[in-house]
Amino acid sequence: MLQTILLYVITVVVFLGLDFFGIKFLVRPVFERHLGDWLMIPPRMVPAAIFYLFYIAGLLWFVSLPALKAGSPMQALIGGAILGALCYGTYEFTSYAVLHRWSFEQVVIDVAWGSVLTGVCAWAGVVALTGKLA
């Protein structure tokens, strides 16, 4: 149980740290260009916090804990990237399908970022607990 809590905390810290920079430098500029005044400034933090807490829990359940059990950070990296593509893709492709102002550029940037972010965070958590890089 302590190992799971530690894995969760490590993953949350890495996720939040990386996502801060990803949103600021990759995602937000593209969203501002296409959505402009549709963006909340500042963003609603409660829904964002709820997303992060549940998303990381799902990441641990589906990817990090099985990879940790297998002792395979590479499994965490690949599984996390796939989960990230599925989750971020669900949001982005649905938005692109139903929202007039949504652009394909937003889809590409956010799905790519979500895949890399989720994979790296799952990998980092497993590396921190196993001490193995691959």
* CA-to-CA separations, 83 to 45, 63, 76, 99, 134, in angstroms, rounded: 23, 8, 10, 24, 19
Model pLDDT for residues 6-61, shown as the tens digit of each residue: 999 999 999 999 999 999 999 999 999 999 999 999 999 999 999 999 999 999 99
Model pLDDT for residues 85-131, shown as the tens digit of each residue: 999 999 999 999 999 999 999 999 999 999 999 999 999 999 999 99
Q: How far apart are CA 78 and CA 84, in angstroms?
A: 10
pLDDT of residue 42: 92
* CA-to-CA separations, 80 to 41, 66, 126, 129, in angstroms, rounded: 30, 11, 11, 16
Paired tokens of 124: 């980092």
pLDDT of residue 2: 93
User: How many CB atoms are located within 10 Å of the residue 64 CB?
Assistant: 30
- DSSP-derived secondary structure for 65-99: HHHHHHT-HHHHHHHHHHHHHHHHHHHHHHHHHH-
Angle, CA of 97, 59 and 117, to the nearest 5°: 65
Q: How confident is the model at residue 68 (pLDDT cuts 50, 70, 90)?
A: very high
Contacts (Cβ under 8 Å, ≥6 apart) of 132: 71, 73
